[in-house]
Structure 1
């Protein structure tokens, strides 16, 4: 799903996903000297922010292109897929995962893998998208629907048996069930500002599920989607033509037993 899309991600959705990073690091107690692992590091945004706090940072991602991008920023990054992380038991004081849980097919085993690499008393902090969506999150999806896009059958879908409720309460229960204590979860809401072309470039570059939908269409359908996208952008444009796109995410944290 992410192979070959590092550049497209960096030029579009990476800025969106950067918004909660400081709150994520605060929730994990990341500071000077903290041994921290950034799981699903992507281009290394959270890892770089942790390093700026004086933390001792390691990072891991399933995609080799993302790992290369993080390494180019001076991060000690490795390739690895949850739940089988290439680290020792109890190696880290803190583990953070910024929008990684929404990309794993088996969330509970993934959490077990994160629990394993934390030392006793270490802290975990995760973000994911909320069930309660901001209006800006649906802009590209609305354009696809209006343009007559057909969702391909190969789009990855979470097995209902592995699913969980994406609310603060549901997130709290998920982490508690994985053995974490003192779990807290809350919504984060913000307006993501992006240019019309920037926001389109993520989808047209095949990034995330919406990108798979857009790039699977025939050329005529893509033209219609783009036309509908431009029409719908007027709902979110400011006086300078920039988009202000409301988004809602969840942030949860807990302590290892």
Structure 2
């Protein structure tokens, strides 16, 4: 996941293990987050000739290239870096809250679900402001305080199975593998809260709104990509035993019927925030 300093500076062996471990996760969560990319680029005004930084090195970077922009990207996932490079993006492995670029270097900064996964979101946003020229545009997405019903499928299965996740595991991303935020770095994840954050960080003409969509996925992908990787690792479940896992899986199978589609897939409603602003 983008922005976690612990994954910067990986050894070759760690890179191989991370790539293998991330495959099923990418099938689910990364695809889920790509729903907002077009709206993100529109909000930022990405156009031909713009000099763009994508923090995350995801689909947003490749789509910006397709719009004729000159694009650089940073991220911490080696596989995403390789995909970005293959799509014509000058991408490097680097983590917030520091960036290897000059003050005011970029016309546009994109951050698709980035602030959810950094340990210091306010400090990181200030760094994004630093590399953006005065009058340049930023557009970002992040998970909202208000959640879609599909976002609560796995937490609901855990709760019904007798395992209540700590609030910090679900508040930011549903869930996150980062520790709770320092209160000085945290902010309210509502449109008003994001507008206040942008104003305090040196942006003007800010806009923020909720975006909602339904994500279609396979039953086993959602369970394997998110359930086993994030919810059912020993760090999140006590006790981490087969009986507990089996009980949660049974509740998952019961609760998922609400979202079942013809052919066996799931259609999961999600809600996020989309914000954009101009650097002063």
Structure 2 distance, partners of 1:105, 1:142, is 26
Quote the residue 1:21 is aligned against.
37
2:107 corresponds in structure 1 to: 93
For residues 89 and 217 of structure 1, do their structure 2 counterparts lie closer, same or farther at Cα, with a shift above 3 Å needed? Answer: same
What RMSD in Å do the two structures reach over aligned CA positions?
Answer: 2.4
- Length-normalised TM-score, structure 2: 0.83
In 1, Cα distance between equivalents of 2:88 and 2:228 = 26
The CA deviation string for residues 7-55 of structure 1, in whole angstroms up to 9 with x for no partner, is 23321111110011001001111011111111123xx211111111111
Residue 174 (structure 1) aligns with: 197
- Selected match of 1:83 from 94, 97, 113: 97
**Cα distance between partner residues in 2 of 1:166 and 1:142:** 21
Gaps of 5+ in 2: 8-17, 170-176
* TM-score for both structures, normalised by structure 1: 0.90
Higher alpha-carbon deviation: 162-171 or 7-16: 7-16
Deviates most, 73-82 or 215-224: 215-224
Deviations 1:31-81 (A, max 9, x none): 11111111123xx21111111111111111134444234334443211222
What SS does structure 2 have at the residue aligned with 1:58? Answer: strand
1:234 aligns with 2:257: yes
Aligned-partner SS, 2:236: helix
Residue in structure 2 matched with residue 131 of structure 1 by the alignment: 145
Matched, 1:35 2:51: yes
Specify every segment of 5 or more residues in structure 1 that has no aligned partner in the other structure, as ranges.
Answer: none
Per-residue deviation at 1:162? 2.0
Q: Aligned partners of 1:18, 1:122: CA distance in 2, in Å?
A: 23
Question: Which residues of 2 match residues 154-193 of structure 1 at below 5 A?
Answer: 156-193=179-216
**Which segment is superposed worse, 216-225 or 235-244?**
216-225
Select the residue among 125, 128, 142 that pairs with 1:111: 125
Deviation at 1:204, TM superposition (A): 4.2
Question: 1:142: which partner in 2?
Answer: 156
CA contact (8 A) 2:61 2:89 kept: yes
